[in-house]
Amino acid sequence: MGRRRFLGWAVAALLGIWSRSATPAEGPRTGREQEVKLAYLYNLARFTRWPSGDPPEGGAFRFGVWGDDPFGPLWDELIGRTVHGRPVEVVRVRTAREARGCQVVFLAGATVPSVGRMLEALDGWEILTVSDQPGFVDRGGMVGFIRQGEKIRFEVNLDRALAAGLRISAEVLRLAVRVLGQGGAGRGSLP
């Protein structure tokens, strides 16, 4: 499965969401929502720079999922892909220690205190932390997916990212609903 094909899938998925947003609909939209979130996760990794270009573990770029994995088989879509020229690997992590071997960690479905602990454990590490827990960024997470109408948007805690040595692209920051830190640059700073 080529990269192009995946992108086609990703964009089609996004557009599908956009078009559906025109029509008010009820009910859980888990499958579709997870697809969008996974695409965002992947794109966020691409728009983010890590201070140490070459990770010590070898060539792979690791996505880690902590907690109740919401994506399941959708991860397969990332297999064979690269981020910053490094092949993608997906690992399920249970401990912070496991998580420290990843570049991106998605914190899913856990309780707020466990997430807080996990964030504390990862503090200072060059790991982009992403979650769809509400208020994630306010508790020290870096990127948090939020639902805004029909669309999935995200918030960024720029201070945390910078503290971890990560540089998130200004373009992504421009798209963020809210950006914490750095004088509130971006859209997020607007009241």
Q: How many CB atoms lie within 10 A of CB 107?
A: 24
Give the nearest distance from C-beta 190 to another protein in angstroms.
Answer: 12
Contacts of 74 (CB under 8 A, 6+ apart): 34, 35, 38
Q: How is 41-87 classified by DSSP, letter by letter?
A: HHHHHHTEE-SSSS-TT-S-EEEEEEES-S-GGGGGGGTT-EETTEE
Closest CB to another protein among residues 6, 125: 6
Give the nearest distance from C-beta 99 to another protein in angstroms.
Answer: 25
Closest CB to another protein among residues 39, 93: 39
Closest CB to another protein among residues 14, 185: 14
Closest CB to another protein among residues 118, 130: 130
Angstrom distances, CA of residue 125 to CA of 89, 161, 181, 182, 188: 19, 10, 18, 20, 25
Give the nearest distance from C-beta 117 to another protein in angstroms.
Answer: 30
81 φ/ψ sector (left φ>0, alpha ψ -120 to 50, else beta): beta
Closest CB to another protein among residues 95, 169: 169
Q: Collapsing DSSP states into helix, strand and coil, what is residue 28?
A: coil
Give the nearest distance from C-beta 67 to another protein in angstroms.
Answer: 24
Closest CB to another protein among residues 8, 72: 8
Q: How is 112-129 classified by DSSP, letter by letter?
A: HHHHHHHHHHHTTSS-EE
Query: Would you tell me which residues interact with another protein (CB under 8 A)?
Result: 3-4, 7-8, 11-12, 14-15, 17-18, 36, 40, 43, 46-47, 151, 154, 169, 171-172, 174-175
Answer for the pair 106, 63: CB distance below 8 angstroms, yes or no. yes
Give the nearest distance from C-beta 39 to another protein in angstroms.
Answer: 8
Look up residue 148 and give its two tokens: 């805004």
Give the nearest distance from C-beta 79 to another protein in angstroms.
Answer: 17
